[in-house]
Chains A and B, each alone.
Chain A
Amino acid sequence: MSVDWGEVYRTSFEELFRFLHRKVWDPERARDLAQEVFVRALRHEPENPRAWLFRVASNLARDEARMVIRRKKHLALLRTEAEDQGGERGPEERVLEEEEWEQLRSALNTLNERDRELLLLWDAGLSYREMAEVTELSPGAVGTTLARARRRLVDAHSGSEKENAARN
């Protein structure tokens, strides 16, 4: 059956973009990667288009993240981004947002790659079967692994909040 990529785009592109943003933490790069994923998609006919999209996205983001780390520009990009986001929001609001992003990123970074991947796929709305296809876990293992990842994320975030409170 031919894939209606237009429909897939309408139902999945934003989630794909969010997923990639939480991988590379750079909205413009995330958009570029999401575009690249879809441009490639247009010449394929996978059985499960959404799982295919996220699998490709995951691969591209993994390589992208390594490149960014090596070039040591990630933090600079975040700072530049914060400065560029102009007058609609006040400085306090921007600082607060940055802190929230940083907390989420730190909490995600405490997880292993598989847990992090599952959480982001779950956040993007993929089903157990789709997550299984992307991560190569069995569908039965997805639930337990995901539940554990959620708990670890919550614990990591609670832990960092307590640390911040103690410092302040």
Chain B
Amino acid sequence: MRHVTDGELHAFVDGSLDLLPDGRGSEVRDHIASCSVCQERLQDEEAVRAQAQDLLKGPAVPEVDLPSFEELRERAKAQGRPEPEAGPEEGEAPRYRGPLRGVPLAWAATIVLALGVGWMGGQIGSTVSRGNPILPATQRYEDADVSSLQRANLGTEPEGTVGNSAFPPGVATPPPPGEQEPVPEGAGQGGRVEGPPGRVDALAASPEGAGADPLPEAEAEAGVAKPSDSPASTDPMLSSARVNSSILLQELNAPSPDSQARLYSTASRRSQTGASEAESQIPDSLENSLAVPGLKVVSIEWEERVPGEKALLVRQLLSPGDTLELRYLGMLLSGDAEVSPLRETRGSLEEASGGLTYANILEASLPAEWHQVVMEWGRGLLVARAPMTEQNLKALLKTLH
């Protein structure tokens, strides 16, 4: 006689026989009723279940005043949280209405890539410190060392660059050729780069899973950056990084909406002349615009610590065992060139409390010796975290496109 399996027995004990295939539930019930061996197993399981239940009930939870539902609703209104909107259901991918509609998406998660006025630019909004880091001499990320750190990490192979890519090949291509211009020769020497107005190119995003484990130690397995095989002076990544730094510093010194559009247009054009020889799974335009130049990108993925608050998490390798985490909040846009509904409802940054709350949650889980910097990033936020001083982290962020 075939006895019920442990799984079937547990389902019976917990009243979840409906999970078993059709008809199997009643078979399990009938068998247990007629089998002494299974009845003994059942009694043992039920005894453990009852003991565990008693333990967990335990002493009463200390009394505190619990809010009424009306109080919660008032609090939600006070925080400016809108009523649930019509839109994609939880877990569904947002509808994509952009020019890449119809492109087959092999993966569940894709990236939103926005080109638009007002998206770029940054201003140090707030910072969070966590004491004085004790860094080995080789890991002193001084301002002057930022560029040398980047040079040390250049030249890594595109293959295997991303440990946990959310990007299928061929997705999120740069803007059509008609809107691109070659990078002027003077760009690397500090000249301003003019460009066409930005166009919104967006893909649907639907991360799977939520609540990514924030433990930084998990990224240590990214490994050591390979030394460059080609002279640094001819390395296109380094050239690209120099162009990025030069342009960004100029724009940060004199920010304006036009300059922000130019910044992003430059970044996307640079992807056309970038160093990506292999078919990288990460679009060059994305890496160039969201990652600190010169540092190996370990992963780019969606993170959702709280449903409804999605962050694009870019992890980059600083040195073996140390990573830089860049989280972009409030970036989701529709595929159309017009301002998306998300932007319209967000309003001012002060009202975008979701992103700030996300940043607060990140701050709460900041590991020892790490620092966090929160920046306004267009209409969203950039939350950067790394095992370095706040000053050095800010210096590193200046090299972002």
Binding site for B on A (CB under 8 A): 2-3, 5-6, 9-10, 13-14, 17-18, 21-22, 27-28, 30-31, 34-35, 38-40, 42-47, 52, 55-56, 58-60, 62-64, 66-67, 70, 81, 85, 97, 100-101, 104, 107, 119-120, 122-123, 127-129, 136, 139-140, 143-144, 146-147, 150-151, 153-154, 157
Distance to closest chain B CB from A166 (angstroms): 20
Q: How many A-B residue pairs have CB under 8 A?
A: 156
Q: Is the CB of B69 within 8 A of A35?
A: no
Q: Which residues of B contact A136 (CB under 8 A)?
A: 209
Q: Is the CB of B82 within 8 A of A147?
A: no
Q: Is the CB of B305 within 8 A of A85?
A: no
Q: Which residues of B contact A5 (CB under 8 A)?
A: 69
Q: Is the CB of A143 within 8 A of B11?
A: yes
CB 8 Å contact bits of B42-70 with A (1 = contact, 0 = none): 00010011011101111101111111010
Q: Which residues of B contact A64 (CB under 8 A)?
A: 364
Q: Is the CB of A66 within 8 A of B10?
A: no
Binding site for A on B (CB under 8 A): 6-7, 10-11, 13-14, 16, 19, 45, 48-49, 51-53, 55-59, 61-67, 69, 72-73, 75-76, 79, 81-85, 89-91, 209-211, 214, 305-308, 361, 364-365, 368
Distance to closest chain A CB from B262 (angstroms): 36
25 interchain pairs (CB within 8 A)?
Answer: A13-B66, A18-B61, A21-B61, A28-B64, A30-B64, A31-B65, A35-B67, A40-B307, A42-B83, A45-B84, A55-B307, A63-B364, A67-B364, A85-B62, A100-B58, A101-B58, A119-B56, A128-B11, A129-B19, A143-B16, A146-B10, A146-B14, A154-B48, A154-B52, A157-B51
Q: Which residues of B contact A31 (CB under 8 A)?
A: 64-67
Contact check: which of B11, B13, B55, B85 meets A104 at CB < 8 Å?
B55
Q: Is the CB of A119 within 8 A of B52?
A: yes
Q: Is the CB of A139 within 8 A of B19?
A: yes
Distance to closest chain B CB from A137 (angstroms): 12
8 tightest A-B CB contacts, nearest first: A143-B10, A150-B52, A46-B90, A59-B211, A67-B364, A123-B56, A128-B16, A9-B69
Q: With A31-B64, A47-B91, A157-B55 in contact, do A70 and B368 touch (Cβ < 8 Å)? A: yes
Q: Is the CB of B51 within 8 A of A35?
A: no
Q: Is the CB of A44 within 8 A of B308?
A: yes
Beta-carbon nearest neighbor of B362 in chain A: A63
**Measured CA separation A39–B309 after assembly (Å):** 14
Q: Which residues of B contact A67 (CB under 8 A)?
A: 364-365
**Measured CA separation A157–B85 after assembly (Å):** 47
Distance to closest chain B CB from A27 (angstroms): 4
Q: Which residues of B contact A9 (CB under 8 A)?
A: 69, 72
**Measured CA separation A44–B210 after assembly (Å):** 15
Q: With A45-B89, A153-B52, A154-B48 in contact, do A27 and B64 touch (Cβ < 8 Å)? A: yes
**Measured CA separation A28–B84 after assembly (Å):** 28
Q: Which residues of B contact A97 (CB under 8 A)?
A: 59
Q: Is the CB of A147 within 8 A of B10?
A: yes
Distance to closest chain A CB from B381 (angstroms): 17
**Most B CB within 10 A of own CB, among A17, A70, A81:** A70
Distance to closest chain B CB from A112 (angstroms): 14
Distance to closest chain B CB from A69 (angstroms): 11
Q: Is the CB of B307 within 8 A of A63?
A: no
Q: Is the CB of A128 within 8 A of B19?
A: yes
Q: Is the CB of A66 within 8 A of B364?
A: yes
Q: Is the CB of B83 within 8 A of A43?
A: yes
Contact check: which of B51, B63, B214 meets A154 at CB < 8 Å?
B51
**Measured CA separation A55–B209 after assembly (Å):** 10
**Measured CA separation A97–B53 after assembly (Å):** 17
Beta-carbon nearest neighbor of A20 in chain B: B61
Contact check: which of B56, B73, B90 meets A52 at CB < 8 Å?
B90
Q: Is the CB of A60 within 8 A of B361?
A: yes
Distance to closest chain A CB from B153 (angstroms): 29
Q: Is the CB of A147 within 8 A of B72?
A: no
Beta-carbon nearest neighbor of A63 in chain B: B365
Q: Is the CB of A147 within 8 A of B45?
A: yes
Q: Is the CB of B69 within 8 A of A52?
A: no
Contact check: which of B11, B19, B52, B90 meets A44 at CB < 8 Å?
B90
Q: Is the CB of B306 within 8 A of A60?
A: yes
Q: Which residues of A contact B91 (CB under 8 A)?
A: 46-47
Q: Which residues of A contact B45 (CB under 8 A)?
A: 147
Q: Is the CB of A143 within 8 A of B61?
A: no
Known: A63-B364, A101-B59, A147-B48. 11 other contacts (CB 8 A): A45-B89, A55-B210, A64-B364, A70-B368, A100-B59, A107-B55, A123-B56, A123-B57, A140-B7, A143-B7, A143-B14
